[in-house]
Amino acid sequence: MRLINRRPDRPTAVLLAALPFVAVIIAYWIGSEIRLSANPSDKLLPAPETIAATAKQLFTEGDRRTGEILLWSDTWASLRRLGIGVAIAAALATFLGVLIGMLPYARRTLSDFVAVLSMVPPLALLPILFIVFGLGETSKVVLIVVGITPFITRDLSQRVLDIPHEEIVKAQTLGASTAVIALRVVLPKIIPRLIQSVRLSLGAAWLFLIAAEAVAADSGLGYRIFLVRRYLAMDIILTYVIWITLLAFLIDWALKAISRAAFPWLEEGL
């Protein structure tokens, strides 16, 4: 049997998925052991048990001044910003994607403009956003919106263009208006792609969020990482990085589960 036709069974698939993570953990453990054996006070690669103890402290112990558990408050602040930014970007991209994909005049007017916007590095706009919107929550949310909306818009507009023209013609033959075609024909077909596009944009959204929080914030996961970096508190930094990664994975998994439940006919790899 050709290798391309071989598929792992369930236990093998789980094992193969775990292998890269195990390899990274082993590599880190070896590196940490080497550095700590040479210098027990080394802070660059803290021992795994040190990270575990720090994580337990961060998740359970409150701040000495306020009594608030900072990790949970930082998590809520970051997830709120991320959720608002991604939701606005998804809604705006859906509207623009349908508009560009359906209407030739809109496509001629906006397609190239959105393509150019997608080439602009969003982080280069960060100082401008802080000047225009201030250092509060708005600038951080706007950075996420500006960063991922063009990508999702281009993806959705292409999906609209890929809809068989015969379906549009049939709807018109039955008397459907442009608005009805958009709501009853186009929108149901692009929702699965919207979920997929949001999943693919989450990494960039987290990047923009962490960057904005690092520059100007008084709470948030990115703010805390850059606050403790001056003390070389790698155990805290790594705990936050692992937590951010876990949150991102859980959000992606949730979106994938929703997509599978709502659209079971989609391919398994999506």
pLDDT at 267: 56
The yes-or-no verdict on residue 266 having pLDDT over 70 is: no
pLDDT at 62: 82
Q: Phi-psi region for residue 232, left (φ > 0), alpha (ψ -120 to 50) or beta?
A: left
Return the DSSP state at 218. Answer: S
The yes-or-no verdict on residue 269 having pLDDT over 60 is: no
Question: pLDDT, tens digit, for every residue of 85-102?
Answer: 999 999 999 999 999 999
Task: Dihedral sign for Cα 151, 155, 157, 158, please.
Answer: positive
Q: Give the Cα-Cα-Cα angle 162, 256, 247 (nearest 5 degrees).
A: 130
Q: Model pTM?
A: 0.87
Return the DSSP state at 62. Answer: P
Tell me the DSSP string of 80-148.
Answer: HHHHHHHHHHHHHHHHHHHHHHH-HHHHHHHHHHHHHHHHS-GGGGHHHHHHHH-SSHHHHHHHHHHHH
The yes-or-no verdict on residue 1 having pLDDT over 80 is: no
pLDDT at 257: 92
The domains located in the chain, with CATH, are 81-217 (1.10.3720.10)
Q: Which residues contact 32 (CB under 8 A, 6 or more apart)?
A: 45, 46, 47, 48
